[in-house]
Chain A
């Protein structure tokens, strides 16, 4: 289990170009497996075009209190990239201009951004239908300055989406660090106490499951049923929906796949599970991802691979919805992660 980011360890894979090279060589370079563009071309979906912009996802910074072994952001306490208030001002303008119905704040731990609360207050005035904060849970109990986060979220009617890779301690701690499970349960209880996830409260609490290893997630409904049953019986915890997210071969998960000699089998499993129906609804067709420094990407994964939108407009300050609509989505072999099985997105399965 890593204790520092790839960047702090000066690992070669902290360079997005190295990751992209890896994803294009080997089994994809020698033709053993088809390139993603070839695969979607057979169904007439290449080039991949965006549809109506519905979700604006803002990455408030790569700093995090955790160092999860699967993190595609390579987040951690040693990452210093943080969105400034000036960039947040630009975001507010874009929120109003974009017509997106969902605003999705992520990180790192977005709550660690010093301007987080100011930004949530301002953004909640913009009349967004669904205002999501992706919280890693443990941040809520990490320091007493965060203890009131559940009440703060409630005040601004924020929709909380939290990672909990499993309903048992062992698998959760192996992926997210020792002690993370107990702290996550403590945080979930605080959120429940504020009304989150409780029936009739109108305060939405969703959980995110991602596999703790080199395998794909199973049926989302079946896992949701198991999570609900176990969390209720063991801890009296309630939540709304479970989102299953497939791990993409990026950053620290890519490092794990290579080191554990699972890379080829994992990529083969993703390609074998390719689902043409999922291509129609992948999140890059309705989402824009914004980095801490204001650049625009088709999704959070492309952000981490340094693949900026293929458009004349590449930065918040030049934001123009009409121009952005004409672009082609940037793709590489990591995209197989979003089209495997029932499909995967930040909102869970897509089919």
Chain B
């Protein structure tokens, strides 16, 4: 067993999850591929969304994959960094908006 939780080489083995559950694995990958096809959003826009979400969910595999995907699509580093900030802003905002809950609770319990 590897002594680290993440190994870059494991990304290539992603497809192997189907070996233990062919039906669900296949359904997932079919869905995944459909999601990234050009639609109302371009594949380029979807790639940037994926990059931002990759950071928010802090998935190192996804960050590697969608940085490379962005390079291939001609997405520039300024666009990539702005996308990461969008993710960070939402994540930071999601933390801070709970401050209202804290304030509500504080006020309710205080005389």
Chain A residue at smallest Cβ distance from B42:
A222
Interface check B71, CB cutoff 8 A: yes
Partner of B71, one of A213, A219, A226: A213
Cβ contacts under 8 Å, B38 to chain A = 222
Chain A residue at smallest Cβ distance from B77:
A170
Interface check A97, CB cutoff 8 A: no
Q: What's the dominant secondary structure at chain B's contact region?
A: helix
Interface check B72, CB cutoff 8 A: yes
> What bracket does the count of chain B residues touching chain A fall in?
10 to 19
A211 touches B73 (CB 8 A): no
Cβ contacts under 8 Å, B74 to chain A = 166-167, 218, 223, 226
Interface check B43, CB cutoff 8 A: yes
Max count, chain A CB within 10 A of own CB: residue among B43, B68, B74: B74
Interface check B23, CB cutoff 8 A: no
Chain A residue at smallest Cβ distance from B76:
A168
Chain B residue at smallest Cβ distance from A165:
B74
Cβ contacts under 8 Å, A211 to chain B = 71-72
> What bracket does the count of chain A residues touching chain B fall in?
10 to 19
CB distance from B7 to the nearest CB of A (A): 14
Interface check B44, CB cutoff 8 A: yes
Using a CB-CB cutoff of 8 Å, which residues 60-96 of chain B contact chain A? 68-69, 71-74, 76
Chain A residue at smallest Cβ distance from B73:
A218
Q: A166-B74, A168-B76 are in contact. Are A219 and B68 (CB under 8 A)?
A: no
A215 touches B72 (CB 8 A): yes
CA distance A272 to B69 in the complex (A): 15
CA distance A92 to B66 in the complex (A): 49
Interface check A217, CB cutoff 8 A: yes
Complex A-B: 29 CB contacts under 8 Å: A166-B74, A167-B74, A168-B76, A171-B76, A211-B71, A211-B72, A213-B71, A215-B68, A215-B71, A215-B72, A216-B72, A217-B72, A218-B69, A218-B72, A218-B73, A218-B74, A219-B43, A219-B73, A222-B38, A222-B42, A222-B43, A222-B44, A222-B73, A223-B73, A223-B74, A226-B44, A226-B74, A268-B12, A272-B12
Extra 18 A-B pairs, beta carbons < 8 Å, given A218-B74, A222-B43: A167-B74, A171-B76, A211-B71, A211-B72, A215-B71, A215-B72, A216-B72, A218-B69, A218-B72, A218-B73, A219-B73, A222-B38, A222-B73, A223-B73, A223-B74, A226-B44, A226-B74, A268-B12
- Chain B positions within 8 Å of A, measured between CB atoms, are 12, 38, 42-44, 68-69, 71-74, 76
- Chain A positions within 8 Å of B, measured between CB atoms, are 166-168, 171, 211, 213, 215-219, 222-223, 226, 268, 272
Pairs of residues from A and B, 6 with the lowest C-beta to C-beta distance, nearest first:
A218-B72, A218-B73, A215-B71, A215-B72, A226-B74, A215-B68
